[in-house]
Chain A
Amino acid sequence: MDTVQKHNIRVSGVPGAQPVVFAHGFGCDQNMWRHVAPHFEDAFTVITFDHVGAGGSDLSAYDPVRHGSLQGYAEDVLAIIDDLDLKDVVLVGHSVSAMIAVLAAVAEPDRFEKLVLVGPSPRYTDDAGYSGGFTEADITELLESLDSNYLGWSSAIAPVIMGNADRPELGAELTASFCRTDPEIARRFAHVTFLSDNRADLADVTVPTLVLQCTDDVIAPVAVGEYVRDAIPGAELVMLDATGHCPNLSAPESTTAAIAAFVRG
């Protein structure tokens, strides 16, 4: 299987320039980066992709064993980097992809020049001496919530173009598959995302790392962002004036500015 098709990879920007790879989080697909990634096309090779199971990826490439841990997703990212022959990569990971980025950078640090972790959390559920913000019962409730919302979703999703008559700037490429996927894959991904514990991996990161933290993030609270900053040697944290878990959508300007200051500096 061709990696480009498998992950619906899109490459833009300056060919041969330093690559910036944007990895989306749990829930939606690479369109999460559409207000941020284009701002790096002037000086970088910009790569966006869909995790297997999300967006326009090849659902048949989903492997319950490989994708049963974040390590498998990290191997996917490394395979993309390998297949596209990318060097000195800046890897920008949002939400669960922040930890996927950590795992990839720990496994093959020489591939990376910098990491940007947007709304990271190494563990979502509480533990002795650690507050992740959720209990396991909360995660069970999330899975029920997914079930309710995925009930009517077909496993074979035709990429129907959304009618956005009032917002033509969205363009034709944003399809109904945004935020939609095979319910069973979404369930498994939710499990992997919200029940992983990657706290021990943080200390092994040797790549310069920036943490971007929102002020009011119900999924990754400020204390968790600070935990990540403190655990990764030499990491910096920038607070974004943004609410919610998706500053790449709710505050794309300040998100872009913070990433740019880190990678262009």
Chain B
Amino acid sequence: MVSSSLAGADAAFQEALRRDDPAELYDRAPCGYLSTTPDGVIVRVNATFLAWTGHRREDLVGRGRFVDLLSVGGRIYHETHYAPMLRLQGAAREIALEIVCADGRRLPVLVNSVLDHDSDGAPSVVRTAVFDATERRRYEQEVLAAKRRAEESEARAVQLAQTLQQTLIPPTPPHIPGLDVAAAYRPAGDGRHVGGDFYDVFQVSTDDWVVALGDVQGKGAEAAVVTALARYTVRAASVDHDSPSEVLRTLDHVLHSSETDRFCTAVLVRVRRSEGTWRATVACGGHPLPLLRRAGRSPVRVGEHGALLGVLPHARFTDTEVALKPGDALVLFTDGVTEARRPGQFYGIERLLAVVDEHRAAAAEVTDAILADVMTFQSGDARDDIAVVTVAVH
């Protein structure tokens, strides 16, 4: 048994070898073969290529050029990429083209070509192998379409986030006669995601202004919804209530009754001028206390801590009133400043107090100095949003 099956295998081997002489191998190879002059005139073509495309040998050899067999897009690609690569590199590999068949049908193919040279080094012949790539091309087109959809969707999401962000962050605070106001905002990470920090500076009536700064828990679209809700609630409630603690109480109620389970922190300062003197009323809800820096003295925290907004059932908020004299300043900030981290270390309140103590010129100077120092501290990689608003009296 064993010896007869071996003898059979040997016979099959000999038969296959005999039938697959070089001419057969060329003509009936499982890929198309074409040879052309360096300028592309077809000089030889195998039976497989003719069977795939329906072209007749006599129409191609000596008459047609390879480029003429391609779809128009493929011709341009051939002239601008394929032919230059072949000329300069001597080979072109895995080029995706479409052959126009005799009946007009398109055959997607992958093409490898080599340019051979004569003994003087002059180009002599181009040998091309053509592989049917119908299924592969269909798959590639699906992949490409999916990639494009993903890219478009990503671009839309980024644009939406940025647009949303712009609506939430007033780029520059308004000019308030008699006050010097500056603000800075830097989103965490690459700045492509909607952050949770916000600030707002708006007028209620003549010489009556509100400065609000807050931090909504989390990021992204849901946080942005809460940010917008908080901001507009503060604006609306400030018309009804003079007291910032009352405004925070309203905001607390609104967050409780809204469908979100997110919470936020905020500091509100009502700044009013009467008889030439500015007075500030400060109220805090779960937020770091702002800093008060009097002319010629070290900065201190001002106000009383209040509850997180939208969390506790009977939250209490307290107003603290201070008179602001020329040279005094209030600095509002989010925890992205004090909780900025580097290995083994928080930025902390002491470092912030030192920066505020040192920079006493315009509001913009101390605001920019804080942002710059916090960014330097974290080596430019902010893990949390940073927002700072400074209000100084001229």
Contacts and interface: CB of A to CB of B under 8 A. Distances in A.
Contact of B80 (A164, A178, A245): A245
Contact of A142 (B77, B84, B90): B77
A27 B73 contact: no
Nearest to A219: B79
A169 to B, nearest CB: 8
A250 B67 CA distance: 15
B79 A244 contact: yes
Interface stretch (B7-15, B136-144, B232-240): B136-144
B218 interface: no
Which 9 pairs between the two chains have the least Cβ-Cβ distance?
A27-B80, A141-B73, A148-B96, A142-B73, A145-B73, A245-B79, A138-B72, A249-B87, A243-B39
Contacts of B83: 244-246, 249-250
Contacts of B40: 243-244
A235 interface: no
B101 interface: no
A25 interface: yes
A149 interface: yes
A250 B39 contact: yes
B72 A134 contact: yes
Nearest to A31: B88
Contacts of B39: 243-244, 250
Contacts of B67: 218, 244
Most interface-central of B40, B72, B83, B97 (chain A CB within 10 A): B72
Contacts of B90: 164, 166-167, 170
Nearest to A144: B73
Contacts of B71: 141, 145
A218 B141 CA distance: 27
B378 to A, nearest CB: 25
Interface string A22-40: 0001111001101000000
Contacts of A245: 79-80, 83
B64 interface: no
B38 A250 contact: yes
A32 B40 CA distance: 19
A146 interface: yes
A23 to B, nearest CB: 15
B73 A149 contact: no
Interface in A143-172: 143-149, 151-152, 162, 164, 166-167, 169-170
B88 A170 contact: yes
A95 interface: yes
B75 interface: yes
A192 B168 CA distance: 38
B77 A149 contact: yes
Given A145-B74, A145-B76, A179 B87 contact: no
Interface of A: 25-28, 31-32, 34, 95, 134, 138-149, 151-152, 162, 164, 166-167, 169-170, 174, 178-179, 194, 217-219, 243-246, 249-250
Contacts of B96: 145, 148-149, 151
Contacts of B158: none
Nearest to B90: A167
B73 A246 contact: no
A92 B322 CA distance: 75
A157 to B, nearest CB: 15
Given A167-B90, A178-B85, A147 B144 contact: yes
Contacts of A244: 39-40, 67, 79, 83
A144 B137 CA distance: 11
A148 B84 contact: no
Given A141-B71, A145-B97, A244-B40, A164 B76 contact: no
A238 to B, nearest CB: 19
B43 to A, nearest CB: 15
28 contacts: A27-B79, A28-B84, A31-B88, A134-B72, A138-B73, A138-B76, A142-B72, A143-B73, A145-B76, A146-B77, A149-B77, A151-B96, A151-B140, A151-B143, A164-B89, A170-B88, A174-B89, A178-B84, A194-B76, A219-B76, A243-B65, A244-B79, A245-B79, A246-B84, A246-B87, A249-B87, A250-B38, A250-B87
Given A26-B80, A145-B97, A244-B40, A170 B89 contact: yes
Contact of B144 (A26, A134, A151, A250): A151
A27 B71 CA distance: 18
B301 interface: no
Contacts of A25: 80
Contact of A149 (B79, B81, B84): B81
Contacts of A164: 89-90
B375 interface: no
B179 interface: no
A78 B91 CA distance: 35
B95 interface: yes
Nearest to B77: A145
B143 A27 contact: no
Contacts of A31: 88
A179 B73 contact: no
B79 A218 contact: yes
B36 to A, nearest CB: 11
Contacts of B75: 218-219
A166 B77 CA distance: 26
Contacts of A147: 144
Contacts of A145: 71, 73-74, 76-77, 96-98
A151 to B, nearest CB: 6
B144 to A, nearest CB: 6
Given A141-B73, A244-B79, A149 B95 contact: yes
A139 B74 CA distance: 10
A179 B72 contact: no
Most interface-central of B79, B95, B144 (chain A CB within 10 A): B79
